[in-house]
Amino acid sequence: MIREHRASALLDPKGAYGHPLRVLADRSLSVRQKRAVLKHWHTDAVRMEESEAEGFDGGEPSMLEQVTAALRDVDTAADQ
């Protein structure tokens, strides 16, 4: 079950967690796994912002700032 959740989180991090802070709070993930999920989410958020800049509005608020902040937090935790 946990392995399935991790796989779905990598495919659809927003769908699996809803907010980047939930990734940070997930004790079942290692720092490395949290970074992988957030990195994937970051890529999705960048693509969404690029699409919006080209006139394709998905109607969802951007999560780029929150995901970037969560990635910084994960990197800080990894350095400690």
Domain borders along the chain are: 2-79
Question: pLDDT at position 30, please?
Answer: 92
| 9 touches 37 (CB < 8 A) | yes
| CB contact set of 21 (below 8 Å; sequence gap of 6+) | 66, 70
Q: What is the pLDDT of residues 41-74, one digit of tens each?
A: 999 999 888 876 666 666 667 889 999 999 999 9
Q: From its phi and psi, is residue 55 left (phi > 0), alpha (psi between -120 and 50) or beta?
A: left
Q: What is the pLDDT of residues 1-48, one digit of tens each?
A: 466 766 778 889 999 999 999 999 999 999 999 999 999 999 999 988
